[in-house]
Amino acid sequence: MKDETIQSNPLLCDIETGVCETTDEKTDSSSQSTEQSTEKSVKLIYFTDPICSSCWGIEPQLRKLKLEYGNAIEIEYRMGGLLPDWSYNSGGIGKPSDVASHWDEVSVHYDMPIDGDLWLEDPLDSSYPPSIAFKAAQIQDNEKAILFLRKIREMVFLQKKNIAKWPHLEVAAKKVGLNTKKLKADFENSARSLFEKDLKLAKEMGVRGFPTIFFIDEAGNKETVYGTRPYAFYEMAILKLNPNATKSEYSKNWKTLFSKYTTLTAKEFSELSGTPRNESEKQLNELVVAGDLEKRTTKNGAIWTKKNTGL
């Protein structure tokens, strides 16, 4: 067990716990400041960060959760501020290049493609700019904001793009249909205060690392899933709060899955389709040969895209 009095490096994600920890001191977890929706029986408050590798690791589970329990849950995305800057030295990491091999290791563990060479070639100074850009996207359209977050994650983990730079954020915004002029204006103004509210709420709720997901029912009862966990953990949290939540059946056909999610990794396709992991990649590659999908390969895995989507 780690000594919790030692400040953890935020980018040194613990593979055993599946958590990327913040550099903040331990905070009061007594507050349950939330806004409860009346439409869905269980609200998920998801504290994350665009460059959180453990959060990338739970994309398969979250995507499945939306397909199976989308009628019962509402997911509220909050930014947590993983990397304010590099003004610290802890956990054996004191500069961006120290993260490269760690990301490569995390990629293998989560079976999700991540290329750590970003930290050697064009490292981020902070994760705050992409976090603020996400809040700016939320001002326009919440669903497009979620697509935007996925797009910038693909950029940083697979394409080695420094998503703290505006040109990359602008490209991602265009691809998901956001108004880039408004996004830039909000990014430079009102989105910053929204991001600061997220940071404040994270402290009030005792968030010390990512991913952290709070499951809250209409009566205010709360379950917490901390770190990267198998799908059953997220499902059980919902069912504990609402035993009557019904699981929706969905088509596991590749065309249907790619119409819902235009990009999928082999791990995601396996999770969503129920195909064994060793067979999922083979099936995806066969679809590439047939001309149905396109494949982007990195040194630590690949991602598949439905052809002619423009994404």
Mean pLDDT by 10 residues, the chain (311 residues): 43 74 48 44 97 97 98 97 82 81 95 98 97 98 98 98 98 98 98 98 96 97 97 98 96 97 98 97 98 96 85 47
CB-count burial class (<10 Å; 0-12, 13-18, 19+) for 42: buried
Q: Considering only CA atoms, which of 209, 23, 202, 47 is closest in space to residue 126?
A: 23
CATH code, 20-24+37-210: 3.40.30.10
What pLDDT shows up at residue 25? 44
List, in sequence order, every beta strand (DSSP E) within the chain.
Answer: 20-21, 42-48, 73-79, 209-210, 212-217, 222-226, 263-265, 293-298, 301-306
**Distance from C-alpha of 117 to C-alpha of 57, rounded to nearest angstrom:** 18
Please state whether 167 falls in left (phi above 0), alpha (psi between -120 and 50) or beta: alpha
Residue 94 is given by DSSP the state -
What pLDDT shows up at residue 2? 35
Domain with CATH 1.10.10.10 in the chain: 254-306
Question: Is the peptide bond prior to 211 cis by the omega test (within 30 degrees of 0)?
Answer: yes
Domain with CATH 3.40.30.10 in the chain: 20-24+37-210
User: How confident is the model over 24-68, as pLDDT tens digits?
Assistant: 544 343 333 334 333 579 999 999 999 999 999 999 999 999 999
Question: Is 52 within 8 Å of 83 (Cβ atoms)?
Answer: no
**CA dihedral (139, 197, 54, 17) positive or negative:** negative
**Distance from C-alpha of 307 to C-alpha of 295, rounded to nearest angstrom:** 9
What pLDDT shows up at residue 269? 98
Tokens of 207: 């968030």
Please state whether 157 falls in left (phi above 0), alpha (psi between -120 and 50) or beta: alpha
Q: Considering only CA atoms, which of 273, 290, 220, 208 is closest in space to residue 36?
A: 220
**Distance from C-alpha of 227 to C-alpha of 140, rounded to nearest angstrom:** 29
Question: Is 133 within 8 Å of 153 (Cβ atoms)?
Answer: no
CATH tag for 254-306 (out of 3.50.30.10, 3.40.630.30, 3.40.50.720, 1.10.10.10): 1.10.10.10
**Distance from C-alpha of 148 to C-alpha of 183, rounded to nearest angstrom:** 11
